[in-house]
């Protein structure tokens, strides 16, 4: 398939790298492609960024049949632009598609389209350390129909947003909240897919966490309300008595690419790392006996997010004196050095764009 390119006539002014924030500024162009049963995925095109006109009965708006991805393009010191394991995002998009009954996309074609779009928008990739161009591929169900079934037609689009440093004042531990009042996902559901409904379902608990002074929710499993699963948009790691532990992928946890990268690096460094079930009681017990060394989240947005405090019921625990731990810091440095090309890429994770 040939990608049709229509360039924008007027380019937008580019923002200052210093005040980018997250997710509110978009570049000049976007990628679009359509699906119908006769033609399959067709009409791939890069065109000026624009609103999508929709019938009010569009199925995505009513039944949330959609999937998305999130990855970043990084500018190296030499000025080139590169991606971090993008083939993993494309694969995961298709896995999410299967969970939502959406027709899969050719992975090589989608990755090439994404690279072509980023290459066209390369001047939008910011240069200040730890800034990047966030890439959001999305697929939405487009049949105008109110019956509940899978849509026959779809739109795939990719939009790009320059984003600021996640830690402009330096690496800062966050406070997280564990609750038994709400769950995010259950086994057999769509928890392991990146699909809008999971995020809508997390808002109320997130709101309550914020009202209590906590920035995110650390979810318990939806069946027994016992095992730790993940944080809002990050997977979670615990360092207990020198061993790194992350919840195993049981079907209700999003399989993070940062998570996978942390595990791979730990193995390469011969650190003790285990994927297994870990309960909130085990965590609180480890803190009580003084062997809980560190807790940190892992996801594309923040890369590594140290956790300094956890609240569960009436108990509040402070981890590592509320300071950034050595293990969290080691992964943060290693991952960002690879992503920004400041270090060798021993795993072959980098994909150059320009």
Q: Given the rule CB under 6 A, which residues bind ligand PLP?
A: 70, 194, 230, 233-235, 254, 256-259, 299-300
- By beta-carbon proximity to ligand PLP, the closer residue of 162 and 196 is 196
* CB 123, min distance to ligand PLP, A: 25
DSSP code of residue 125: S
Q: 179 vs 235, which CB is nearer to ligand PLP?
A: 235
Q: Per the structure block, which two tokens stand in for 111?
A: 């990755």
Token reading at 267: 């193995």
Tell me whether residue 257 or residue 319 sits nearer to ligand PLP (CB atom): 257
Work out the burial of residue 109: count CB atoms within 10 Å of its CB; fewer than 13 is exposed, 13-18 middle, 19 or more buried. Answer: middle
d(C-alpha 117, C-alpha 7), whole Å: 11
Distance CA 123, CA 283 (A): 46
Minimum CB–partner distance for residue 198 and ligand PLP (Å): 6
How many CB atoms neighbour CB 110 within 10 A? 25
Give 41 or 68: the residue with its C-beta nearer to ligand PLP. 68
CA distance 335 to 303: 8
Nearer to ligand PLP, 46 or 205 (CB): 205
Q: Are the CB atoms for 259 and 302 separated by under 8 Å?
A: no
Type and span of the H or E element at 206: helix 203-211
Cα separation of 194 and 152, whole Å? Answer: 20
Closest CA to 154 of 54, 285, 49: 54
Q: Minimum CB separation from ligand PLP for residue 191, in Å?
A: 8
**Residue placing its CB nearer to ligand PLP in the complex, 70 or 251:** 70
> What one-character-per-residue DSSP string does 274-310 give?
EE---BHHHHHHHHHTT-EEEEEEEETTTEEEEEEEE
The phi and psi torsions of 77 (rounded to 5 degrees) equal -65, -30
Q: Judged by CB, which is closer to ligand PLP: 103, or 297?
A: 297
What is the DSSP secondary-structure string of 304-346? EEEEEEEEETTEEEESGGGS--HHHHHHHHHHHHHHTTSS--T
Closest approach of Cβ 146 to ligand PLP, in Å? 28
């Amino acid at each position: 398939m040939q990608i049709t390119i229509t360039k924008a006539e007027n380019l937008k002014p580019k923002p200052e790298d210093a005040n980018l924030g997250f997710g509110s500024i978009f570049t000049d162009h976007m990628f679009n492609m359509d699906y119908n049963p006769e033609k399959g995925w067709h009409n791939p095109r890069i065109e000026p960024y624009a609103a999508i006109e929709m019938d009010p009965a569009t199925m995505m708006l009513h039944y949330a049949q959609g999937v998305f991805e999130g990855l970043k393009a990084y500018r190296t010191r030499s000025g080139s632009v590169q991606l971090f394991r993008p083939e993993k995002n494309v694969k995961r998009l298709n896995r999410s598609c299967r969970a939502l009954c959406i027709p899969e996309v050719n992975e090589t074609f989608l990755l090439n389209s994404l690279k072509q779009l980023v290459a066209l928008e390369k001047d939008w990739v910011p240069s200040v350390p730890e800034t990047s161009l966030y890439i959001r591929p999305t697929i939405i169900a487009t049949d105008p129909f109110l019956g509940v079934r899978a849509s026959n037609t779809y739109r795939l689009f990719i939009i790009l947003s320059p984003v600021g440093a996640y830690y402009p004042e330096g690496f800062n531990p966050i406070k997280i909240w564990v609750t038994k009042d709400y769950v995010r996902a259950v086994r057999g559901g769509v928890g392991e897919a990146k699909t809008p409904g999971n995020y809508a379902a997390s808002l109320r608990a997130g709101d309550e966490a914020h009202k209590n002074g906590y920035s995110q929710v650390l979810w318990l499993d939806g069946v027994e309300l016992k095992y730790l699963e993940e944080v809002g948009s990050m997977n979670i790691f615990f360092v207990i008595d020198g061993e790194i532990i992350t919840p195993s992928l049981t079907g209700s946890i999003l399989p993070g690419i940062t998570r996978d990268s942390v595990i791979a690096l730990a193995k390469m460094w011969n650190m003790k790392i285990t994927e297994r079930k870990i309960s909130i009681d085990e965590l609180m017990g480890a803190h009580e006996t003084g062997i809980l060394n560190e807790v940190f989240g892992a996801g594309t947005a923040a890369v590594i997010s140290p956790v300094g405090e956890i609240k569960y019921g009436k108990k509040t625990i402070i981890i590592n004196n509320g300071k950034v731990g050595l293990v969290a810091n080691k992964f943060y440095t290693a991952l960002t050095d690879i992503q920004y090309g400041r270090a060798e890429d021993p795993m072959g994770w980098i994909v150059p764009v320009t």
